Amino acid sequence: MTHRPIRRVEPDGTRVYADYHRYKPVPVEKRKTRIRKPANPDAILWNGNWYLPLDVLPEDQRVMPETRPDSLTLEHGARCRCEVCQRPEAAVLWRRRHASQNGRVIPASRRRPREARRRA
């Protein structure tokens, strides 16, 4: 394996590299190890494994799902079983509203802000 560019390929298949080093590839039937590199030129080698590109939709044909905000749950009735009300964030919103109606405040996060962590 060399990183030097191939200067020319002779008729018998011998490669002549930029530093005049010569190498004739072993025929497939005489190889001791199989060729693992896929024929697809877009294949990617990562951690010793070859990965083929996925068949995905083009960017202009992709459609993102409609999003529904968590605050929608506060407009719904209690024990609503819809998709928005079953999220864990909906329970947090309900708990925070219940606490604020009873004069308590639930902090958004117990974690200290990044600046405070850096100072300590």
Indicate the residue among 16 and 93 with the shorter CB distance to Zn ion.
Answer: 93
Of 2 and 71, which has the nearer Cβ to Zn ion? 71
- Considering only residues 89-118, where is the footprint of Zn ion by CB under 5 A? none
In angstroms, what is the minimal distance from the CB of 83 to Zn ion? 8
Rule CB under 5 A: is residue 16 a binding residue for Zn ion? no
Shortest Å distance, C-beta 77 to Zn ion? 7
For the segment 55-84, give every residue that binds Zn ion (CB under 5 A): 76, 80, 82
DSSP 45-89: EETTEEEPPP----GGG--PPPP--GGGGGGSPTT--STTTTSHH
Provide, rounded to whole angstroms, the least separation between the CB of residue 87 and Zn ion: 10
Residues 6+ apart with CB under 8 A from 14: 22, 23, 24
Residues in the chain: 120
Lookup result for tokens 């719904």: 76
Q: Is 85 in the site for Zn ion (CB under 5 A)?
A: yes
Residue 87 interacts with Zn ion (CB under 5 A)?
no
- Reported as type and span, the H/E element at residue 95 is helix 88-101
Tell me whether residue 40 or residue 71 sits nearer to Zn ion (CB atom): 71
What's the one-letter identity of residue 56? V
By CB under 5 A, name the binding residues for Zn ion.
76, 80, 82, 85
